[in-house]
Structure 1
Amino acid sequence: MEARRRGLEWLARLGYAARGLVSLLVGLIALLAAVNGGGEVAGSKGALQAIFTQPWGSAMLLVVALGLFGFALWRAMQSLADADRRGTGWGALAARAGQLVSSVIYVSLGIFAVNLAIGAASGGAEDQAARDWTRWLLAQPFGRWLVGAVGLAILGAGLGMGAKAFTASFRRHLACGPGAAEWVIPLGRAGYAARAVVFLIISAFLIIAALQADPSEARGLGGALVALQAQPFGRTAFGLVALGLAAFGAFEFAEARYRRIAP
């Protein structure tokens, strides 16, 4: 039992590191685009493709995939087994439902990484994937309501991340001393603030897709960044969000070290 517990903890910590690497690459790629006044913006799948193009890229991707699967397993335990001891209040149940959705997302991302590493996948069209599942939802009974509900759920997640940035409530899950907290907490605040902006943009596009019954309005992470970049004030805001996403990646590496994990 102890060996199983330690193995799960190791997988969870590897998962935080893998998630951090992906977010760090997304932020750095976006930051380069902001500094150059334009250029390609990548989402999570684009970040995995960037890893694939490096020397030993396939091997690195398989390690990252293992981490993503480990993070998905930890998310499932947070949701189903209440590993963080959130309880069963309405707010706690909503947060745990979000963790279960996150688990599914990271399983999907891990599968994409494996397929990319073995040559069974060639592209990371996140926006197209978002449009495909939005189109599928719209084709179901009450489809517009379903898409709208997903948009509102993502809106709620974005507002929750904004609250985390403001209150730094994430610190209660960290076991680090005052010295480490001096740099870990600001990284977490900046990271959650940037993710809040991205989630709010994604939710806005989904709500528009629901209102117009038009799946082409849906966007993924990369599409949300492109939309922000295209605004009149977008270059400055885009640069700040890119910096924040990179900060979140660094924060996730800190979580891999300091996160309290009780499998």
Structure 2
Amino acid sequence: MADVSSYVPSPPPKWVETFARFGLSAKGVVYCLLGILAFMAAFEIGGQSTENTERSGIFRTIQDMPAGNILLGLIALGLLCYAIWRFIQAVRDTEDKGSDAKGVAKRLRYIFSGLVYGSFAVLAARMVLGNSSGSGGDSRQTLAAKLLEQPFGQWLVGLLAVGTLIAGIYQIYYGYSEKYKKEVQSGGLKHEVEHQMIRAGKLGYMARGIVWLIIGYLFLQAALKSSSSEAGGNKAAFQFLENASYGSFILGAVALGLICYGIFMFMRAKYQPIHT
């Protein structure tokens, strides 16, 4: 007689869920620190400036804490886990996005996210091992400079600018429309927890979108002027906000939104069902 257990589907691999939750937590730490540093810079608390708001500055802040190298090593491992989870989402289609044009586009977005956070993990690991001080300048200016050296370089930087602007607009739309609610509501959470997650996500996605819009605008300026010095990342985006009318308050509001995004990542790590 055949073993009945052979007809019972095996449970999903636990390690995938562990990677996802650990990765989301590490991402939450990074965004909370980014928001805190930006908020301190906005109001010059503790002499803080926007100089430390690039990813290397965030990692240096972690490294300067007690047992900083151990903490940064954990962050590096967590970001690597997040990157691997994103690749699994894309290749195995664990979110059931399908193989039509829309589904493939979303799965490609998972791959891009995995590559970005994988590069963050590598930078953090190199800093732990002492192979990089993280002081190699603005990585986006370097990218813009390399693209401008290529044939049709201005067009390449312009395309990158447009892509970043579209991504920023989508993040704002995604947050404002609360399209992420389905994921939150699928967890069977208490109403109060669900409401808090939705609110944190809304503020977080919109703040993230604003930063991406400014980075896209800076890349566009780099393309139009054929000057890599016009491009920039978080630091340049925050300086752009700080220099506007009521800049400290605008930067402070965006910083609080980024802290909300970090908190949303922590809540996802704890409550979101992970499909494997």
Q: Shorter-normalised TM-score: what interval?
A: over 0.9
Q: In structure 2, the residue corresponding to 1:232 is in which secondary structure? A: coil
Q: Is the 8 A contact 2:123 2:134 kept in 1?
A: no
Amino acid at match of 2:105: A
TM-score when scaled to structure 1? 0.93
Q: CA deviation at 1:248?
A: 0.6
Aligned residue for 1:246? Answer: 259
Q: CA deviation at 1:67?
A: 0.6
Q: CA deviation at 1:44?
A: 2.5
Aligned residue for 1:40? Answer: 49
Q: CA deviation at 1:3?
A: 8.3
Pairs within 5 Å for 1:68-217: 68-125=79-136, 128-174=138-184, 175=187, 176-217=189-230
When the two chains are superposed, the root-mean-square deviation of aligned CA atoms in Å is 2.0
Q: Distance in 1 between matches of 2:150 and 2:273?
A: 41
Q: In structure 1, the residue corresponding to 2:142 is in which secondary structure? A: helix
Q: Distance in 2 between matches of 1:255 and 1:224?
A: 27
Change (3 A) 1:168 1:260: same
Cα distance per residue 1:186-206 (max 9 Å; x no partner): 100010110010000000011
Q: CA deviation at 1:89?
A: 4.1
Cα distance per residue 1:133-169 (max 9 Å; x no partner): 1111122222222211111111111111111211111
Change (3 A) 1:208 1:97: farther
Tell me the number of residue pairs that the alignment of Structure 1 and Structure 2 aligns: 262
Q: In structure 2, the residue corresponding to 1:83 is in which secondary structure? A: coil
Change (3 A) 1:211 1:94: farther
Aligned residue for 1:5? Answer: 13
TM-score when scaled to structure 2? 0.88
Q: Is residue 51 of structure 1 aligned with residue 62 of structure 2?
A: yes
**Bigger Cα Rg:** 2
Q: In structure 2, the residue corresponding to 1:262 is in which secondary structure? A: coil
Structure 1 stretches lacking a partner, 5+ long: none
Q: CA deviation at 1:2?
A: 6.2
Change (3 A) 1:98 1:208: farther
Q: CA deviation at 1:260?
A: 2.5
Aligned residue for 1:221? Answer: 234
Amino acid at match of 1:100: I
